[in-house]
Amino acid sequence: MNGCLFCRISRGELPAKKALETDTLLAFHDIVPQAPLHLLIIPKHHIDSLNDLTGQEGPLMGDIITTAAKLADQFGVRKSGYRLVANCGKDGGQAVSHLHFHLLGGRSLGWPPG
């Protein structure tokens, strides 16, 4: 989608502090971090939300989860623990209509989150 913030970031039209990039995924630092480590992991092609996933995205979802574990290791939070979160819809806290996962770590994360 042309106007989507995360699509524009994945196309390089807007700046982002990238942590990792593959052919299908982009991970970058959140501009308003909620923890010492706060990355966003997005698919490069547009998917609105979890509600729009079909069975075809199984490999993509696996890549997102294994990428999160690699990033947790890279940034030193794999052993101490981290959180991987996807918000869905307005009431679920999704602020950008492009599927994305928050990878948070570097401090004790309470529950519920807010």
- Provide the β-strand partners of residue 101: 41
Active-site residue (options: 29, 98, 100, 102): 100
Nearest to 36 by CA among 113, 96, 103: 103
CATH number of the domain encompassing residue 71: 3.30.428.10
pLDDT band at residue 63 under the 50/70/90 scheme: very high
> 57 lies in a domain?
yes
Given a cut of 70, whether residue 42 has pLDDT beyond it is yes
pLDDT of residue 111: 84
At 77 the pLDDT is: 98
For residue range 5-28, what is the model confidence (pLDDT) as tens digits? 999 999 999 999 999 999 999 999
For 1, the token pair is: 């989608």
- Residue 100 bears catalytic tag: yes
Q: Has residue 112 been placed in a domain?
A: no
The count of structural domains within the chain is 1
Q: In terms of residue numbers, what domain contains 28?
A: 5-105
pLDDT at 59: 95
pTM to 2 decimals? 0.95
The count of other CB atoms within 10 Å of the CB of residue 87 is: 17
